[in-house]
Structures are given as C-alpha cells and as structure tokens.
Amino acid sequence: MEFIPISKPSITQKEIQYIMDAVSSGWVSSLGKYVDMFEEKFASYCGTKYALTTSNGTTALHLVLVALGIKPGDEVIVPDITFVATGNAVKYVGAQAVIVDIEEETLCIDPESVKKAITPKTKAIIAVHLYGHPANMEEINKIAGEYGIIVIEDAAEAHGAEVNGKKVGSLGHVGTFSFYGNKIITTGEGGMITTNDENLYERMRHLRDHAMSKEKRYWHTEVGFNYRMTNIQAALGLAQLERIDEIIAKKRLIFEWYKEGLKDIEGIKLNYEAPWAKNVYWMLCFEVEGYTEKQRDELMKRLKEKNIDTRPYFYPLSDMPMFEKKIDTPVAHRVYQRGLNLPSYFDISKENVDYVCEVIKELLKI
C-alpha cells in the first residue's frame, strides 16, 4: 500500500484558474477583487453581516482580542483541548487564559466547567469547535448572557458546521476561521473573522491595516498590524468556498466508511454528532478506551510501519509550561491519551479507508 497521509488539500482546475487570474491581473498583494469577493461570499455562507480576511487563523484571534479591548488583568476562558493558538492569542494581549475542561462526547468546551471558572475579571469565552464538531453554543451563550461576557467562536476546524441549522461563525459575538493547508478549505495560509457587530468590524478592519488614518494617508494614532490576506490567497479561497458543500459531503461520507469499517471493534469511540449539531468531521477521531499515552503512541508507530499516517489528539494546554493550571480538567486528561486522528482527506479512496480499518483490526487483534 502507498503511503496514506493524514491530510492533503483538494486543488482542482477551478482553484488554479482563479489563482492564475489573480496573479496575471497584477493585483498580487491585498488589494484586488478576490479579497472582496471571498469576504462577501464567506459572510453570506456563514449568515453574518461581515467577514474580514486575515493572514491566518492565529492573527484572526489576536485581532479580535485587541479590537475587543482585552488587556492585562482580564481573563479569557479557553478549553483545555485545542490547538495552542487559541491560548497563545490570549497571551499576546497580556490577558490570562483560564483553562477549563471539555465534554467527553463532543470534545468541546464544557459549559459546566465554564460556569465554575467565571470571575469578575472574565471578559470573554473562546468556544472552540474541535475537530469539526460545534461546541454547545446554546449553553455557552446562556451563561455568557447571564454574566455579560463576550463569546468568541474559534471555528478554525469547523467551516460549515451547524448548531440547530445555523452555521458556526454566526453563533457568538464574533467568530474566527483558519485556512491553513489541512483545514476544511484552504488559502495556503489565511484566516477570516465573522461578525454582525458593525463597530467591531470597522475597528478590526482599521487595526488590520496598520491603523492608518482614513483622512490622512500614512498618519497613525495607535499601533496597528499588517494582518491582511493577499488577493492570490483569496482567489484560492474563493474557489475552495465554491466547492465547500462538495467537500463537507465527502468528509461526512468518509466518516461513514470508517464507522462501517470499524463497527465490529469494541471499546473504541469515533467522532460524535450531537442531535442538535452538524459535524463536518475535519479530523477523523479514533479513541481506544483505557489507552495510556504510551499505548496510543505505540499504535501510531505500528500504523506508520503500515504506511498509515496519524496524529495524536492535542495535548492539554494546562500541561504546557506557558499556561497556568487553576482548574482540574479530568476529562481532557483522560481523553487526550487515548485519542488519535486517522487519514480523512478529500481524495482518500474507499479502498484506502478499508485498508486502514483492516490494519487497525489486526493491530487491536480483532
């Protein structure tokens, strides 16, 4: 069997055509029609008034926090299991990342744990839609509403995921996305912010472009950023966005292949889908009940020997030296050790998925 990578973008003639058009137009930096078209189409896809492109998903998060005025002395609640960028962005503005536990089924931030972590200093909650499954936004919004706290969705892994038929990015006060090469859709490097808040949108737009004065070019009254996306990246993004329904349908189909192929194994858990949710299955999640980190790593090594690429679940942020551990997170610590991701990229064949399932069965001695 040929090497089966964990992830690979799907690039068709459409993407190549749009990129060629962007490059040959001469508009290679961040002015150009593709940036506007990508933002407009993304806002309408998510069902928000505004969408703002950024240079990546991390700068999207940073820009949101700066524009919201979050500063040293403030606290921002984040889930223990997420990509490190969620926590780092809070650090960039000098605020404290208050790490809370996750739900065992959805793997997303646990509303009960959030409730317990709220203090008078809490300014925002970052709900991460992990591995393609949306966080329990109804509960999170309810809690945030009670305490007057802002909800930020980190939707970097869940473009198109839904809660009760509404798309992520439109469910909190503001949402962020990533278009890194392994995400649901890609621009190479890139990000997006979605919101219905006009003032926040204008503020983020201003800060993204060096906070340059509107009336007087090259005059600045505060420190801004260059967090823009290029027209070439936006051309790639627009082509990908035009194919997103097809991409998500395929991700859901791949999940069904795995579910069928692994159905005879006891003591394993694959991705969950809550009754109120639409999962976009960004990463295929595979957990072996009772596994330790060592056993999990051994299984990954054995799979690699069979030419199957995998990746471990994210490690708990609270175990990393730059974050403070204030709250116990038993679920996060139980789950990360037993979890790994299996290949589920757009072009993977049924034959390859069947092969992965057979190898797993053999290694787990079924």
Ligand X SMILES: *Cc1c(COP(=O)(O)O)cnc(C)c1O
Residues that bind ligand X (CB under 6 A): 56-58, 82-83, 85-86, 128, 154, 156-157, 178, 180, 191
Give the start-end residues of each E strand in 140-295.
Answer: 150-154, 162-163, 166-167, 174-178, 191-195, 268-270, 277-278, 284-288
| CA 292/CA 300 separation, integer angstroms | 12
> Closer CB to ligand X, residue 19 or residue 317?
317
> Cα separation of 118 and 328, whole Å?
14
Q: Exposed, middle or buried: residue 19 (CB in 10 Å: 0-12, 13-18, 19+)?
A: buried
Do 96 and 70 meet the contact criterion of CB atoms below 8 Å apart?
A: no
Q: By C-alpha distance, which of 51, 89, 53 is closest to 70?
A: 89
Min dist CB 330 to ligand X, Å, is 22
Task: Calculate the alpha carbon distances from 133 to 145, 259, 280, 310 in Å.
Answer: 23, 16, 7, 19
257 versus 345: smaller Cβ distance to ligand X: 345
Q: Which is nearer to ligand X, 56 or 122 (CB)?
A: 56
Quickly list DSSP for 81-115: SS-THHHHHHHHTT-EEEEE-B-TTT-SB-HHHHH
Q: Do 323 and 317 contact (CB within 8 A), yes or no?
A: yes
Q: Is 268:286 a contact under the CB 8 Å cutoff?
A: yes
For residue 176, the minimal CB distance to ligand X (Å) is 7
Output DSSP code: residue 263.
T
CB 351 to ligand X: min, Å: 29
Measured from the CB of residue 9, what is the shortest distance to ligand X in angstroms? Answer: 13
Is 103 or 353 the residue whose CB approaches ligand X more closely?
A: 103
The number of beta carbons lying within 10 Å of the beta carbon of residue 133 is: 27
Min dist CB 178 to ligand X, Å, is 3
Q: What is the dihedral of CA 320, 323, 325, 328, to 10 degrees?
A: -60
CB nearer to ligand X: pick between 9 and 57: 57
In the complex, residue closest to ligand X by CB? 57
In the bound state with ligand X, the residue whose beta carbon lies nearer, of 285 and 357, is: 285
Q: Which is nearer to ligand X, 14 or 311 (CB)?
A: 311
What does the DSSP 8-state code read for residue 163? E
Nearer to ligand X, 30 or 86 (CB): 86
DSSP state for residue 4 in the 8-state scheme: B
Whether 223 contacts 211, CB under 8 Å: yes
CB of 57 to ligand X, least distance (A): 2
CB of 199 to ligand X, least distance (A): 24
Interatomic CA distance for residues 302 and 40, integer angstroms = 46
Q: Specify the residue, 101 or 157, whose C-beta has the smaller distance to ligand X.
A: 157
Q: Is 305 helix (H, G, I), strand (E, B) or coil?
A: helix
CB of residue 129 to ligand X, shortest distance in Å: 8
- CA 157 – CA 246 distance, rounded (Å): 17
d(CA 271, CA 46) in angstroms, rounded, equals 23
Minimum Å gap between C-beta 251 and ligand X is: 15
Q: In whole angstroms, how close is the CB of 175 to ligand X at the nearest point?
A: 11
Considering the complex, state which of residue 191 and residue 261 has its C-beta at the smaller distance from ligand X. 191
